[in-house]
Each structure stands twice: as structure tokens, then as C-alpha cells.
Amino acid sequence: MIFAFYAAAKESFSVALVQTAFYVALFGGVGLYAWWSERRDARLAEETSPAVPKALKLAIYREAYLLATLLERAGSERALEKEIPSKFEVITRRVLIDRLRDSGMMERLERQFLDLLLAPDGHWTEKEKQLVEQMWEFLAVMGWALGLSELRPLALTPEYKLSLAAQIIEAREPEGLHFLASWDIRPERDQTDEFFVRCWAELISRGEINSENAEEVVKICSEMQAQRGFDDYLVGTQTISELPSETLYLAALRTYRRGEILRQLVEILCGEAPVDDLRGLFIDFLSPLVNEPRIS
């Protein structure tokens, strides 16, 4: 449209051009007004009868804030694997701790977080880096639920960016975020559960995993495929049945982590579980690192 407008302007400043500009402005303005009106109505509805109460938004946001801070630290630890010139002073630890202290989140913080956040810069073990990096899927879901980002489909390889952590941390009015309601999250939860069952059934059928209810899992998966009306899920350009076992296992783990936090969020937003359950999920995930020998 823009290029067409300039092409016409080059040829002549005719009446037709003026009319064209008028109609573009008119109908473009109508569309813009409709968009603005819809956004205004949504904001008014959110203020008068919010789907997610502000206090609950803030409580969930604080958990996302803490997780984003931990993943920022993990990113710094990876960066420090490269040789840093001696004239540079690394202050990631100090900055993150000060920020958490200013937000009142250092008080009564669990050991699983403290051991990692208080460790000197560059002293995380490889096991610690790898385990914390697996929590990116949790943050991806929370960023989506907070209305800050899109959720990458499970059919595509994951892409995690530190910019998401920064976006969460830098949110100025978190209680005003366009938080998704439980009914918006449920479809994603259900699709994730189906995807996971399909991955799990495939691993069982290959003998990669021993399961007491193997036949039941495979049967459920077959029934779900019949209901969906298509043969199989895609991961990249391959169906699940075509994936190498290692790739399939990683896809299953990612899907399981996504399903865990989606279920937690739905239960919390429905009032069936406390927000503390999110912290419990993170603590359980980090618990294998307790008493991990520190790099000297």
C-alpha cells in the first residue's frame, strides 16, 4: 500500500491520488479506531472485573521474576566460560542480589536458590548450569502467561533468549500485565499432555523406557490419534515415530516440563492451589543440586 501510494505520487498529483489518499485515510482510520475501541473495552473490562485479580498477578509475577533472575545468572556463568580480561570486574552476582534485596525477595529465600545466587561469579559447576538451563521452558510458559511473549510450538526446536528474562524483570507495572486466564491456558495444557503421551508411548514401544502400564499408555495414545484425525505429530520435519531416540527423549522432557507448569498455573488461577506451589515446583527441580561440591 505504501509503495503504491508513492508510485502514484511520482506520476502525478491528480485528483485520483487525492481521492485514494482520502479513502486510505478514512478506512485506515476506521480500522484504527475499531482496534483502539476494542483495546479500550478490554482494559475497562479488566479494571472492572479482572479475570485474574491484581494480587494474584503480582504473586505469580514475583515467581517469574525470581526465575528470570536465576536464569540471568546462568547466562552469566556460561559467558564466563570464555576467558575474561583481568582488567574487567564481573559483578553479576552483586547486581542480581542487590536487585532481589531491593524487591524484598532475598528474605526467607530457600537454600536451593541461595546456594546458586550467592556462589562467587564463575563458580557454578557444569551440573548446576545444565540443570538451571532446563528451567527455561518454565520461564517461556510464564512469559506467555504474563502476556509478554509468544509460546513456541512443541513442533519447533526451543529458542530461549535472555531478552525474555530481561523483559520480565524490567516490567514496571506487573499487576497491569495482560495475564492469561485459566480458560486461555487450558487448551495449551491439554495439547501439551497429548503431545507428551505420544512421545512417552513411542519411547515405551522402542523399549527405551520400562513402564508397568505400557500397554495402557500405548492404547490411550492410539485412541487420541484416532480422535485427532491425523497420523502423528511433527517435530521439525520428522514425525515422532521417525525421530532418533535421543531427540525424542529430549522432546519428551521439554514437553513434560511445559505440562508441569501449565497444570500448576491452571490450578492456581482456578483457586485450586496456592501460588506457593510454583515455588515448590522450582525447589523440587533444583533439589538435586543441594550439597553440590563448589568449584574452588
Q: Are residues 44 and 59 in the same domain?
A: no
Last residue of a domain, one of 136, 171, 206: 171
Q: Are residues 130 and 204 in the same domain?
A: no
- Is residue 135 within 8 A of residue 70, CB to CB? The reply is yes
With a CB cutoff of 8 Å and minimum separation 6, the contacts of 44 are: none
Q: Are residues 201 and 101 in the same domain?
A: no
Indicate the pTM of the whole model.
0.79
Q: Are residues 72 and 142 in the same domain?
A: yes
**Confidence bin at 232 (pLDDT 50/70/90):** confident
User: CA torsion sign, 120 to 161 to 258 to 100?
Assistant: positive
- Is residue 97 within 8 A of residue 274, CB to CB? The reply is no
Q: Are residues 25 and 60 in the same domain?
A: no
pLDDT tens for 157-208 read 999 999 999 999 999 899 889 999 999 999 999 999 999 988 988 998 888 8
**Confidence bin at 8 (pLDDT 50/70/90):** very low
Task: State the residue range of the domain holding 216.
Answer: 182-273
Q: d(Cα 93, Cα 198) in Å, to the nearest integer?
A: 41
Residue 58 has pLDDT above 70, yes or no: yes
pLDDT tens for 102-154 read 999 998 899 999 999 999 999 999 999 999 999 999 999 999 999 999 999 99
Q: Are residues 60 and 148 in the same domain?
A: yes
Q: Are residues 241 and 208 in the same domain?
A: yes
- Is residue 67 within 8 A of residue 24, CB to CB? The reply is no
110, three cell numbers: 530457600
What are all long-range contacts of 215-221, with beta carbons under 8 Å and residues at least 24 apart? 221/197
Q: Are residues 104 and 130 in the same domain?
A: yes
Q: Are residues 63 and 127 in the same domain?
A: yes
pLDDT of residue 25: 43
Q: Are residues 94 and 39 in the same domain?
A: no
Q: Are residues 114 and 219 in the same domain?
A: no
